[in-house]
Amino acid sequence: MHEFAYAKLNLALHVRGREPDGYHRIETAFAFAQDGDMLSVVEGEGISLGVTGPFADSLAGEDNIVLKAANALRERCGIGAGAALTLDKRLPVASGIGGGSADAAAALRLLRRWWRADLPEAALAELARGLGADVLACFHSRTARGEGRGDRLEFTDYGLGGAPLLLVNPGVRLSTRDVFERWDGRDRGPLGDPRIGRNDLEAPAKGLVPEIGEVLEALAALDTATMIRMSGSGATCFALFTEEADRDRASRRFAHRHPHWWRLASRLR
């Protein structure tokens, strides 16, 4: 049995304030690509996780959130059966596109089916919320406006479904915590239409990884792109297009000029 862990995008991300507990209050527009990591399961003793794929080595030694999600669901439902999970890690780690959060959300969806868990959608969503700020949005994998820590969701249609999408990452990991700590504390206003919004984490992210600026400049040079932005806390950036052919030409151009940058040609769900 298989389940996609769809890549998450922040079409816009406005940081409105820092809470006393250290978390930040944000307003964001979530969207999801049609592609991402792939999680699969077969019968097994206990809960185990194997990792394959181009970014498998990036997770070596980490306390994987997929196992946390699996054990949380198992405990919540009182399930005695095990599961041998395999994660095909296709998305770069610590890259602003929800890789770990999307993987955890996929584990909840997959194992509910695998174990035939009698758990209402709302209860499963609460498990997702407890695993991390973005896990709830990734659990639904639908376009939504997120507030608070990003876990108060209002599902909406931004009219971008099916839009050709190019994701580009300069190959540098970036800590979400480090980026938020460098936010200047200035509230630049609420989120309206995400197409004319902004990402308030772009400046601090570029301060830590200047290559993000190079990626954004290269994307800005594409005269066919309809939206260009950094996603989440970086370092992945993206461009939306009207035509698939324009996206594919852009992808080939990046492959030729920046062969060491990771890229993914996809569409919005």
pLDDT tens profile 33-52: 999 999 999 999 999 999 99
* Residue 58: band (very low, low, confident or very high) from pLDDT cuts 50, 70, 90: confident
User: What percentage of the chain has pLDDT greater than the value 90?
Assistant: 95
Name the active-site residue from 8, 37, 88, 200.
Answer: 8
Domain, as residue range, for 208: 164-267
Write down the residue that tokens 């527009």 correspond to: 29
Mean pLDDT (whole number) for 99-110: 96
CB-CB contact of 195 with 11 (8 Å)? yes
Mean pLDDT (whole number) for 134-158: 97
* 129 and 175 co-located in one domain: no
pLDDT of residue 59 exceeding 90, the answer is no
pLDDT of residue 60 exceeding 80, the answer is no
Mean pLDDT (whole number) for 106-112: 98
- Measure the CA–CA gap between 68 and 192, rounded to whole angstroms: 35
Domain boundary (155, 172, 189) is at 155
pLDDT tens profile 204-262: 999 999 999 999 999 999 999 999 999 999 999 999 999 999 999 999 999 999 999 99
pLDDT of residue 98 exceeding 80, the answer is yes
Convert 121-146 to b/e letters by CB count within 10 Å (16 or more is b). Answer: eeebbebbbebbbbbbbbbbbbbbbb
- Measure the CA–CA gap between 240 and 232, rounded to whole angstroms: 16
Domain boundary (114, 138, 155) is at 155
Q: Which CATH number is 187's domain given?
A: 3.30.70.890
Q: Which CATH number is 89's domain given?
A: 3.30.230.10
- Measure the CA–CA gap between 56 and 66, rounded to whole angstroms: 14
* 148 and 169 co-located in one domain: no
Task: Tell me which residue of 42, 37, 44, 46 sits closest to 1, measured CA to CA.
Answer: 42
User: Which residue would you say has higher pLDDT here, 121 or 261?
Assistant: 261
Active site residue 89: no
Mean pLDDT (whole number) for 51-68: 88
Measured in whole angstroms, how far is the alpha carbon of residue 225 from the centre of its chain?
21
* Residue 256 CA: distances (Å) to CA of 23, 31, 123, 261, 269: 41, 28, 48, 10, 28
pLDDT of residue 101 exceeding 70, the answer is yes
Mean pLDDT (whole number) for 94-101: 94
- Measure the CA–CA gap between 156 and 140, rounded to whole angstroms: 12
User: Which residue would you say has higher pLDDT here, 118 or 263?
Assistant: 263
* 89 and 174 co-located in one domain: no
Both tokens assigned to 240: 């939306």
Active site residue 134: yes
pLDDT of residue 197 exceeding 80, the answer is yes
pLDDT of residue 27 exceeding 80, the answer is yes
Please name the amino acid found at residue 18: R
* 150 and 189 co-located in one domain: no
* 221 and 94 co-located in one domain: no
Name the active-site residue from 35, 37, 88, 134.
Answer: 134
Number of domains in the chain: 2
* 53 and 32 co-located in one domain: yes
Strands of the sheet containing 225-230, edge to edge, are 225-230, 237-241, 164-169, 262-267
Mean pLDDT (whole number) for 117-129: 93
* 257 and 143 co-located in one domain: no
* 136 and 197 co-located in one domain: no
CB-CB contact of 82 with 45 (8 Å)? yes
Output DSSP code: residue 162: T
pLDDT at residue number 267:
98
pLDDT at residue number 22:
86
What is the average pLDDT score of the chain?
96
pLDDT of residue 79 exceeding 90, the answer is yes
pLDDT at residue number 214:
98
pLDDT at residue number 149:
95
pLDDT at residue number 61:
62
* Residue 62: band (very low, low, confident or very high) from pLDDT cuts 50, 70, 90: low
- Measure the CA–CA gap between 46 and 214, rounded to whole angstroms: 46
